[in-house]
Amino acid sequence: MKIATTIILTAGATSAFTFDEYQVKFGKSYATDAELSLRKQLFTQRATAVADHNARDERLYTKTLNHLSDRTKTELQQIKGLDKAMLHHQMSLRTKISTSNTATIEDLRGFPDSLDWREKNVITPVKNQGECGSCWTFASAETIESHMAIQTGMLQELSEQFILDCTPNPHECGGSGGCGGGTAELAYDRLTKLGGIPSEWEYPYVSALGNSSTCHGLPLSREQAHSGAVSAAANITGYWHTTTNSYADLLMALVTKGPLAISVDAGAWHDYSGGIFDGGNKTNPDLDHLVQLVGYGVDQGESYWLVRNSWTPYWGEKGFIRLKRYDPLKGEKASCGTDVTPLDGNGCAGGPSTVQVCGQSGVLFDGVYPLL
């Protein structure tokens, strides 16, 4: 699909921005009259919602029409890919973290007011997962890229496709891995057993249209110049996770270790354009997307988390979103909601019936980074 620059639709602009113009600007074409009618209906509904939101004086962020504005809810769900059932299954198997290893709010005093890992040359360009539910492979690979760059000074793109093709979901929790979803923990466990991950150049991404390919290149050879074999560009020895719903742990890991893969509810992100996002479902958040946390800061008195997405650089703020951050050092308290369907899908019986999820879009729930 050809993607054009996103266009912010302001209040009252619905009549000026027609569906015909939308098709031209975003390179849209539809197979049948029935599909054309459906897409036009979806476009009209979202154009109205965008205009209404942007007309609010008190808003912290703006919405826009973009390449996702004619998608159905089912299609929008497919471009995420966090296997929530697998996430909660793996969390139930974790060893309890001792309190001595858990950060406290007092530990954060003296930290800088802002941090942006992009400024330290450890973040690769924003990517595009396409129609495959492979967000989990992108966030996992991107976070390895960052930690490898922090440790070695060398930043290179690593293969999401290798994770996608070569990581089964052994418990079939809500899916089967691949474009059906997974988690960072699942990816890092598998890469540890396989001996590492190859580069993007040796094992490129080919699943943008929604189909996984076949795992190849195993066993991985040691990285050698011009060998012609699929080799390990980075080695993984395991992973570490933050304490569930701990602001102090998440911020401590972000500052002292580097970017993290985080689980979020992205159900209201599709038309985000810019600003500090404070929308979505806070009562019953539904974790459905894996992204990369790369920083934090303050803008005109409003604190935020800086998050990298995998929906192209044409989405949001050049591929990034800023989430509302409730800073305990300022006396602020993050809202918490209850995920009432933590085991959506099949498998993983015996898991919790409900799960508490805290922070804007669930940002505090689960932070993971690789051990190299």
Strand partners, 357: 337
103 has a pLDDT exceeding 60: yes
In this structure, of 75-79, 170-174, 238-242, 292-296, the range with the lowest mean pLDDT score is 170-174
CA 346 to centroid of chain Cα atoms: 23
Q: How confident is the model at residue 6 (pLDDT cuts 50, 70, 90)?
A: very low
Mean pLDDT score of the chain: 88
170 has a pLDDT exceeding 90: no
In this structure, of 40-54, 169-183, 252-266, the range with the lowest mean pLDDT score is 169-183
Q: How confident is the model at residue 347 (pLDDT cuts 50, 70, 90)?
A: very low
| Residue linked to tokens 């500052």 | 255
10 has a pLDDT exceeding 60: no
Nearest CA to 290 out of 75, 126, 137, 67 is that of 137
What is the rounded CA–CA span in Å between residue 125 and residue 205? 15
What is the rounded CA–CA span in Å between residue 340 and residue 202? 42
Q: How confident is the model at residue 19 (pLDDT cuts 50, 70, 90)?
A: very high
Cis peptide preceding 219, ω within 30 of 0:
yes
Annotated catalytic residue within 135, 166, 173, 348: 135
What is the rounded CA–CA span in Å between residue 172 and residue 186? 12
Q: Is 135 among the catalytic positions? A: yes
Contact 368, 188 (CB under 8 A): yes
CA atoms within 13 A on the CB side of 105: 9
What is the rounded CA–CA span in Å between residue 58 and residue 305? 20
Annotated catalytic residue within 88, 89, 289, 348: 289
342 has a pLDDT exceeding 80: no
9 has a pLDDT exceeding 60: no
Annotated catalytic residue within 54, 169, 235, 309: 309
Domains detected in the chain: 19-70 (no CATH), 77-157+172-182+236-371 (3.90.70.10)
Q: How confident is the model at residue 180 (pLDDT cuts 50, 70, 90)?
A: confident
323 has a pLDDT exceeding 90: yes
12 has a pLDDT exceeding 80: no
pLDDT in tens, 227-267: 778 999 999 999 999 999 999 999 999 999 999 999 999 99
Q: Are strands 272-277 and 355-358 parallel, antiparallel or unpaired?
A: unpaired
Burial class of residue 240 in the structure, from the number of CB atoms within 10 Å of its CB (0-12 exposed, 13-18 middle, 19+ buried): middle
